[in-house]
Amino acid sequence: MSAPTMRKENTYLPSARKIFQRYERVRVQENVLLVGTVGAGKSATINTITAALSGERKYRAPIGAHLSTPDGTRKRTTTHLMWYRGCGIDESKRKDMHVPKNIPNLVDMTGLENVESREQEKLLEMILMGRIPDETSIPALQDMERTNPGSLDRKFPFIYDPRRIHKILFIASATEPIPTKLIKSVRNVAQPDGSPSNVNPRYIPLFGLMTKEDLVNFEDKEIQDREREFLQSLGIDQTASYSRWQNNPTGDFSCRVLYFLDRLLSPEVRVSDAALLHFNNS
């Protein structure tokens, strides 16, 4: 099997303006959750997306999880659930840029462990359902559920629809093994099967992004296998739901960024009606 190749589109040129236009008549604001392990590049991806859409060369999301502590473990830069309204575009500049009111929000969170566990899936489910407020400490929630199962349900019993997640962008680093257990946890929660115990399964669209492509050689068979494993683990189509790039918040990005955002930021791709039913009756 040959390695996945990045297709180049020749008949359509995406732009920030075209992306903005498709959200001018949208009534529900989408929330896109970024998920990945520590140091995968989630916060850097938010900065790249913001720069690509606004042209601003600013760091909206703090980065630096690539730096390791003396014991060799990665230090989390993002420790809370953080919302970047309107794709992180400066609110004071949106009117002049003709940014529509309901351009999607980007939701960042701390890097998760590559495990498939009940506690982690419970945390993800609570976030997807809109039950966790902005700027809540994720490690604190993890400790709470680990030491006292069921405590998250008791502390956050209510669904807040404007916080509900509509799409998930899974971030993986090209320099590290694919976190297949974490991906399985995400899929278990975002796209559970329609078993008798789950007659109204939610279906939240998944997208994949491989970062740090500049640090590896995609002609290398090991890297090709890694990319293929990422696509297969997520169960996504390479052409419709995947890209890879080097994060760059300065605005000096490749057109590949806009091509991918043109697919990710599309109101036609949405959470299923069954998911809405599940959310509203949970």
Residue 13 falls inside a structural domain:
no
Residue 177 falls inside a structural domain:
yes
Q: What is the pTM of this model?
A: 0.86
Place of tokens 């057109």: 255
Split into its structural domains, the chain has a count of: 1
Residue 184 falls inside a structural domain:
yes
Residue 16 falls inside a structural domain:
no
Residue 213 falls inside a structural domain:
yes
Residue 86 falls inside a structural domain:
yes
Range of the domain at 218: 22-281
What is the chain's pLDDT, residue by residue, as a tens digit (282 residues)? 455 555 555 577 899 999 999 999 999 999 999 999 999 999 999 999 999 999 877 656 555 544 444 545 555 567 889 999 999 999 988 999 999 999 999 999 999 999 999 999 999 999 999 999 999 999 999 999 999 999 999 999 999 999 999 999 999 999 999 999 999 999 999 998 755 555 556 789 999 999 999 999 999 999 999 999 999 999 999 999 999 999 876 666 668 899 999 999 999 876 654 444 444 444
Residue 269 falls inside a structural domain:
yes
Structure tokens at 88: 């992180």
Residue 14 falls inside a structural domain:
no
Query: What is the structure's pLDDT at 157?
Result: 94
Structure tokens at 6: 């990045």
CATH code, 223: 3.40.50.300
